[in-house]
Amino acid sequence: MEEIKNDPQKINKTKPASFKSAIAIAIILSIIFSSFFGAVFGFMGGKISDKLFSKISQKLGKNIGQKDGSLFSESRERIVEEDSAVIDVVEKSSPAVVSIVITKDVTKYKSFFEDPFGFFDEMNGSSQGVTEKQKVGGGSGFIINSNGMIITNKHVASDQSADYTVITNEGKEYPAKVLARDPVKDIAVMKIDGENFPTLELGDSDSLKVGQTVIAIGNSLGEFSNSVSRGIISGLRRNVTAGSGLGQTEQLTNIIQTDAAINPGNSGGPLLDVSGKVIGVNVAMAQGAENVAFSIPSNQIKKMVEQVKDTGKISSPFLGIRSIAISQTIQKENNLPFDYGVLVTRGEKITDFAVIPGSPADKAGLVENDVILEINGKKIDAKNQLTEMISNFNVGDEITLKIWHKGETKDVKVKLEERK
């Protein structure tokens, strides 16, 4: 009888011995294969990772170099650098940005209980109302020379019977005098007494690009002085009609559009580039829209600043016509042979003459329905608008207009006069 198979002792002795050997062999083989394939795949994985990282770097146009998160680190550094540049501009520019407070004598009427029917005033021989100085508005401005010359909007300083007070970033108050108001553009120049004031420099607005970063600083809502907003240039050479809310309107041509927040009270404040130079004067915002605001380009005000420094006033050349830019619609409606220039036309009111009597245009013989095509050989079009081109000349300059008059093209010489 053989019972060996079922002998518990033999089974217990032989089985553990063979199982241990198998485990030992498996462990040894596992170590060998894992080491070999680990090295192979590690090498291949490194190569694949390098190639993948290199492709990402090429796509982003960056030499990232390391696979240690430097992509995100570099992006973060770039953002920090840009923020630092903006912060630096704000810190250096804010001392030269001022708030302008407008005050005026306003009639204050007594209540019925204070003086029923004005009885006591009549006894004293005075009218029922008394006047007191009240704040009636506010705006912004910025200092352009160390002697206290300030740029702001004309609509901020338009009231000749009002008093103006300038408040600096440090909280100091100065009575201000309006030196000049531009008759065409929404710009005014003010002056405060003193010296060694911090200043801002006017930059080159002709070099601006859509998309570049800009910073606006001003007295938002007339309450929050030196408020800062940041955005980009959304458009250039915009033409808009700006209203004061009191029925007054003004044509603003070739101005800057930005999405930087500009609110009431920001008027007259600077629009700055990342180098801290003034590239615009904040002037208007679009109603019923968000992040649509406008600034007058700095190059449009350089000439008038020099005029005020030299003569104490702003002299604006004057042609004396009312016109409309020729578009495809205007060309078709009036059967015109040209798709550029301006059509001399009257306004809606009977007093809105096409050619102002006694003006330089009138003296030169221009009449209604004439088309002005060129000034000194340069075409009048969307990029070169009539008003802007005229403003580049000086009072007393003689210019040559190419006009289309009753089916004929001819040159007409005009001597520009000062706008009154």
CATH code, domain carrying 215: 2.40.10.10
Do the domain assignments include residue 28? no
Beta carbons of 175 and 233 less than 8 angstroms apart? no
Q: With 0-12 CB in 10 A as exposed, 13-18 as middle and 19+ as buried, what is 232?
A: middle
- In a domain, residue 68? The reply is no
Residue 381 lies inside a defined structural domain of this protein: yes
**330 shares its domain with 397:** yes
Same domain, 174 and 227: no
325 domain-assigned: yes
What pLDDT, on a 0 to 100 scale, did the predictor assign at position 245? Answer: 55
Q: Indicate whether this model's pTM tops 0.75.
A: no
The answer to whether 186 is a known catalytic residue is: yes
Provide the angle, in degrees to the nearest 10, between the axes of the packed helices 8-60 and 70-93: 40
Residues 180 and 271 in one domain: no
Q: For residue 405, indicate whether it is catalytic.
A: no
| Alpha carbons 257 and 292: distance in angstroms, whole number | 7
Number of domains in the chain: 3
Q: Taking the CB of residue 396, how many other CB atoms lie within 10 A of it?
A: 11
Do 306 and 324 sit in the same domain of this protein?
no
- The percent of the chain in helix, strand and coil, each rounded to the nearest 5, is 30, 35, 35
Last residue of a domain, which of 261, 291, 310?
310
Q: Decide if 61 is inside a domain.
A: no
Q: 316: which strand partners?
A: none
Mean pLDDT of the chain: 80
Q: How far is 277 from 271, CA to CA, in rounded Å?
A: 8
Domain assignment present for 3: no
Say if 15 falls within a structural domain. no
Among the listed residues 93, 140, 155, 227, the single catalytic one is 155
Closest CA to 279 of 179, 178, 209: 209
Q: Is 270 inside a domain boundary?
A: yes
Of 225, 267, 295, 391, the catalytic one is 267
- Please check whether residues 323 and 403 belong to one and the same domain: yes
Q: Which residues of the chain have pLDDT under 70?
A: 1-82, 108-129, 243-249
Catalytic-role residue among 93, 99, 182, 186: 186
Domain co-membership, 301 together with 388: no
Boundaries of domain holding 303: 205-310
- Report the alpha-carbon distance of residue 112 to residue 318 in Å, rounded: 53
